[in-house]
């Protein structure tokens, strides 16, 4: 009887793959197979030991197609949208991973980065690491989220404009100032100036200041008109450090390299692109 249950789940998983599906929930499988939760868990555990099944979240399963057996899981693009629907959370693929989708591929991205409206633990899925970054309210930046075709459906990805802002908003995820400059140099031609200005209304002023300074530093000042308007509408603009860590590092406490009066940004070290 136990063998029949395991074989039934294996056949169910194979049928999903044949139909072009790679995800399912425990409830779906139990209903389709007419088995209880305990019997399902036993069968699922056996398939997981065979690395034919992945369980990134409780009750949510990803089938591992044979061509991805050596990787331990299919790419997150195959199931991230279904995963976040299972979590009942708004999201978008962002930061360096989104920049890669927009053509900024100079440096390899080691994490699959997702911005979510809920704090979620990271997921190790085979060779992939899905890392979640928190944004309390995704509503104000909804105009900067695009639906993009993926291998098995669609997924939400930040636009080039929102990606640029997020690179400065989450510097810990971006690999430091030099890497941000490298990515921005490739990303800038894809940024819509009007959208960049609109989205700037929904982020902290220092983020807008730093991005504006860097875009002009890279020769893309034509993108920043809307950003300047947003900053002027918010009243007097305080000075901000280009790199927050350098601003508190004793090694950088000598007089700054320069001050950008247009953006009121203190620069203690000129960023260097790796391109």
| CA distances to 42, 98, 114 from 47, in Å | 9, 32, 28
**What residues does each domain of the chain span?**
2-71, 78-267
Which pLDDT value is given to residue 2? Answer: 47
State yes or no: pLDDT of 1 exceeds 50: no
- At residue 74, does pLDDT exceed 60? yes
- Residues 63-67: what's their mean pLDDT? 94
> For the chain, how are helix, strand and coil distributed in percent, rounded to 5?
50, 20, 30
Q: What is the pLDDT of residue 165?
A: 98
> Which tens digit of pLDDT belongs to each residue from 80-125?
999 999 999 999 999 999 999 999 976 678 899 999 999 999 999 9
- Only one residue has tokens 């699959």, namely 112
Output the pTM of the full model. Answer: 0.91
Q: What architecture is the 2-71 domain classified under in CATH?
A: Orthogonal Bundle (1.10)
Helix axes 193-200, 225-233, angle to 10 degrees: 20
pLDDT at 6 over 60: no
Asked if residue 126 lies in contact with residue 22, where contact means CB atoms within 8 angstroms, the answer is no
Stretch 54-75: mean pLDDT? 94
């Amino acid at each position: 009887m136990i063998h029949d249950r395991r074989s039934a789940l294996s056949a169910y998983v194979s049928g999903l793959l044949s139909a072009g599906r790679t995800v399912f929930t425990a409830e779906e499988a139990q209903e389709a197979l007419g088995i209880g939760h305990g019997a399902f868990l036993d069968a699922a555990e056996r398939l997981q030991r065979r690395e034919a099944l992945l369980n990134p979240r409780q009750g949510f399963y990803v089938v591992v197609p044979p061509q991805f057996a050596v990787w331990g899981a299919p790419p997150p693009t195959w199931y991230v949208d279904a995963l976040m629907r299972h979590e009942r959370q708004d999201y978008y693929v962002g930061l360096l991973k989104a920049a890669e989708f927009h053509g900024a591929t100079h440096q390899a991205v080691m994490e699959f980065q997702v911005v979510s409206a809920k704090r979620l633990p990271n997921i190790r899925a085979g060779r992939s690491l899905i890392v979640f970054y928190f944004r309390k309210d995704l509503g104000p930046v909804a105009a900067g989220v695009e639906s993009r075709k993926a291998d098995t459906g669609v997924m939400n990805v930040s636009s080039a404009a929102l990606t640029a802002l997020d690179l400065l908003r989450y510097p810990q995820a971006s690999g430091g100032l030099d890497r941000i400059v490298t990515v921005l140099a490739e990303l800038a031609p894809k940024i819509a100036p009007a959208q960049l200005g609109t989205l700037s209304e929904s982020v902290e002023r220092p983020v807008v200041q730093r991005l504006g300074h860097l875009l002009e530093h890279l020769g893309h000042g034509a993108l920043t008109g809307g950003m300047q308007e947003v900053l002027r509408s918010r009243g007097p603009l305080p000075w901000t450090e280009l790199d927050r860590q350098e601003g508190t590092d004793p090694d950088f406490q000598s007089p700054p390299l320069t001050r950008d009066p247009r953006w009121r940004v203190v620069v203690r070290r000129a960023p260097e692109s790796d391109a």
